[in-house]
A and B are shown apart, each in its own frame.
Chain A
Amino acid sequence: MDQGIIIAILATAVTAGTPILYAALGEIITERSGTLNLGVEGMMLVGAVSGFMAAYVSGNPWLGFGAAMAAGGAVSLIHAFLTITLRANQVVCGLALTIFGTGFSSYIGKPFVGIPLKETFKPVEIPFLSDIPVIGPIFFNHDPLVYISYLLIILLAFLIYRTRWGLNLRAVGENPAAADSAGISVSITRYQSVFIGGMLAGAGGAYLSLAYAPSWLENMTAGRGWIAVALVIFAMWDPYKALLGSYIFGGVEALGFRLQTMNVTISPFFLKMLPYILTIVVLIIVTRETKTRKVGAPAALGQPYHREDR
């Protein structure tokens, strides 16, 4: 393979990884507060369909992007209410959200299936940066949503590690009882983190329906929400590592596409399996690694908190 093809694959890796990146960043915030939301796939689908509908009706993809974040945030509040206020089982509730999101997005998206979107997000070269050899075409010749995701990583890392809110968030996720006695409201912090997670999952879905493959198809996320959940573990709940992970997954997807067009003898169905197989393998390696290195999930992840039961 010559250099041009490799650069093209790596550039596709970035765009293919971006929807997963948005969703994974959101889930990192959610899980940092000790709340597990397995409804990412459903929230992404709701985001993808509402983003598409808003962009199609208004003719403005930015409005679509905003609508997707609002819709993702709105459905995430169902999860927040059930798990935080009513203390429901977080795993089953997340599954319910995914099933609901699948059905809901099919229902409201029915009239829009297969219609191409006229106004989509288009690549914008960043002056100077896009002229850097190799790095430029890979990272700085994309649509604006990719650039927003770069900024988002820095913003979220700053929020988590350098602000009072981030400290509270981590305290609630590690030891909610101690955070509570320090005067931090556990439930308000958790509501906020679930809502942010929902908005970003919606944004990830919108990236699919507005930029990556501008159209709406039932189940168009095809498991990317679940890959994002796995990626959070791979990233060890750190935004910077989520970037690397997303692009590895994007890269595998991009490589699969490229091999299909190059008439290799492998069946396209086996190439399509690659990201899912990779997720399993990576998850096994990373889980073993985190066990030996004793770094891992927020200590209170998945446990409901209520004051009287301490």
Chain B
Amino acid sequence: MRLITLEKRMSPIPMAGMVIPVISIALALLAGGVFLALSGKNPLEIYFTLFQSAFGSSYGFSETVVKAIPLALCALGVSLAFRVQLWNIGAEGQFYMGAMAATWVALTYPEGSRWVVLPAMFLAAAMAGGLWGLLPAIPRAFWKVNETITTLMLNYIAIFWVDFLIYGPWKDPNGYNFPLTAPFELGATLPSFGTSRVHYGLILALIAALLVYIILKYTVWGYQLKVVGESQRAAKYAGMSIVKTILLVMLISGALAGIAGMTEVAGITQRLQQGLSPGYGYSAIIIAWLARLNPWAILLVSFLFGGLLSGGFSLQSMGLPAASVYMLQGLILFFILGGEIFNSYRLKWIGGRS
């Protein structure tokens, strides 16, 4: 006997785009809090520490922005692929390939000036990331080979490749045998704002969001993306090339993640090292979905998730692994997914009738 049923909604909830994510995050924090309490931790204290260290001081705030830059670039890339129903979960690997290519430029031309080396690093990273996105797009476009699995497999391959380089040919001879390259010369480093660690990659992320917005809103190609995403059959009848769209979208998607890798090595670590990304490429998936693939919302959500990451490091001093924030991220996504049905349906009490 069913007491509650789902009924199609005739008109959408006003402001659903804002209301559902906000309620979802609140419920995820609540569920996470219950879990933390059950395992003997004080959830209020943990959330307070998280918030305080992410947004409570100018240092914390700048660290949050620092983390938001690669998150936003990766999420913008992922969002383009998601728009045409391509489940690119390879941003992590595309990020590493970008970082690798940028490092190659930096190590090969140590004497160059910023004006030459940085643009070269940028182009190399965009190409390497783009290529890593294109690789799984080719079998997807021509033979419908599942891109979720291939993009993920390429993440592992990219990370092992970087490991090979930093443990082998690129290892810093003065690095006490740590897996990292020599530090970059000045010409290969991204300048920062004032004395903070917030680097000019922030501008790149803002420009990328603007470009994605313009492409989607004002170009024919952006309109094609929308049509292909909603109905491949309709797109085919309208004479659009699905193959071309898939290849181009994945190329751009990968390039954006590759650029994120470049800003991270040139702006933050100023060398290639192990564990460069704390899972930016995976968080990007959640950010893109939470932002409903809207580029401006991606910037905002990246900032919040940057706070979650930078605050996450402070949790380690409380004996929690930094990866616990992924538990919270997963919970947020669960509630978002569960909440989406209320865009088009509402609960209806039907009592004892079945």
Enumerate chain A interface residues (CB-CB to B < 8 A): 38, 42, 78, 81-82, 86-89, 91-93, 95-97, 99-104, 106-108, 110, 218, 222-223, 226-227, 229-230, 233, 267, 269-270, 272-273, 276-277, 279-280, 283-284, 287-288, 291, 308
Contact = CB atoms under 8 A, between A and B. Distances in A.
B174 interface: no
Contacts of A93: 334, 337
A78 B347 CA distance: 20
B327 A291 contact: no
Most buried by A among B160, B289, B337: B337
Given A95-B87, A229-B148, A283-B146, 18 more contacts: A42-B330, A87-B341, A99-B282, A99-B330, A99-B333, A100-B329, A100-B330, A106-B327, A107-B320, A110-B319, A110-B320, A222-B156, A267-B168, A276-B157, A280-B149, A280-B153, A284-B145, A284-B150
Contacts of B152: 223, 226
Interface residues of B, number: 46
B12 interface: no
B230 interface: no
Nearest to B285: A95
Interface in B120-149: 136, 139, 143-146, 148-149
B219 interface: no
Nearest to B41: A107
A106 B324 contact: yes
A226 B153 contact: yes
A229 B149 contact: yes
Name B's interface SS: helix
B179 to A, nearest CB: 11
B286 interface: yes
B334 A82 contact: yes
A96 B156 contact: no
A42 B8 CA distance: 33
Contacts, number: 143
23 contacts: A38-B148, A92-B337, A95-B89, A96-B330, A96-B333, A96-B337, A100-B326, A100-B327, A103-B326, A103-B329, A104-B330, A106-B326, A106-B327, A223-B152, A223-B156, A230-B149, A269-B161, A273-B160, A277-B157, A279-B153, A280-B136, A283-B139, A291-B144
A287 B143 CA distance: 7
Q: Pick the most buried of A38, A81, A284: most chain B CB atoms within 10 A of its CB.
A: A284
B349 interface: no
A229 to B, nearest CB: 6
Interface of B: 8, 39, 87, 89, 136, 139, 143-146, 148-150, 152-154, 156-157, 160-161, 163-164, 167-168, 282, 285-286, 289, 319-321, 323-331, 333-334, 337-338, 340-341
A234 to B, nearest CB: 11
4 shortest interchain CB distances as A-B pairs:
A100-B330, A103-B326, A103-B327, A106-B323
A267 B164 contact: yes
Given A110-B320, A276-B153, A269 B160 contact: yes
A81 B327 CA distance: 18
Nearest to B136: A280
A226 B156 CA distance: 11
B143 A288 contact: yes
Nearest to A93: B337
A283 B160 contact: no
A92 B327 CA distance: 16
Task: Specify which of A106, A233, A291 lies most central, judged by the most chain B CB atoms within 10 Å of its CB.
Answer: A106
Contacts of A230: 146, 149, 153
Nearest to B156: A276
Contacts of B333: 92, 95-96, 99-100
